[in-house]
Amino acid sequence: MPQGVESLWLRADATGALTAVKRVAADGPEANPRLDAILTSEGAELPAAVGVGAVLGLRARLDDTVDPTQVVISWYTTAGKIEPLRTLGSASADFTAPDAPASARLIAVCRDTEGGTCWAQATLEVTP
């Protein structure tokens, strides 16, 4: 075990509840992955607006230093739906706009195999 790293310690509070803490040393990248933007599935910038019920392909633009085979993108939206909810690297997902006008926030969360996380977001106006 590296010098100065405790294997485990326990602490009990006044109610008798135990808190366990373990310190670990990690070798590996010390930087989170970088997600630059959310694009259309063709690689173009997102439009400012889409019509109700429209389907728009999305993909995450990863930084050049990110290996797309080592990240998973989780997709979220505040209006409409996105399928699939998770994609590998630069694979695309489809956003389906809601059936009524709304402002839809799109969020892509990138997670790598080392526990790193980053995200990007964009807003689309859904118009009649």
Q: Report the CATH number that the domain containing residue 38 is assigned in CATH.
A: 2.60.40.10
72 located within any domain: yes
**How many Cβ atoms from other residues are within 10 Å of residue 35's Cβ?**
21
Name the band, by pLDDT with cuts 50, 70 and 90, for residue 115. Answer: confident
In a domain, 11, yes or no: no
- Determine, yes or no, domain membership for 7: no
Is the residue at 19 inside a domain?
A: no
Burial 48-57 (b: 16+ CB within 10 A, else e): eebeeebebe
pLDDT-derived band at 54 (thresholds 50, 70, 90) equals very high
Which DSSP category does 3 fall into? T
Instruction: Tell me whether residue 3 is in a domain.
Output: no
Judge whether 46 lies within some domain.
Answer: yes
Confidence of residue 1 (pLDDT cuts 50, 70, 90): very low
Name the residue range of residue 49's domain: 30-127
Q: Is 64 domain-assigned?
A: yes
Global confidence as pTM: 0.76
Q: How far apart are CA 117 and CA 73, in angstroms?
A: 10
The number of domains in the chain is 1
Q: What is the pLDDT of residue 16?
A: 79
> Is 53 within the bounds of a domain?
yes
How far is it, in rounded angstroms, from Cα 87 to Cα 78?
19
Q: What confidence tens digit (pLDDT) does each residue in 7-39 have?
A: 566 677 888 787 777 766 666 556 889 999 999
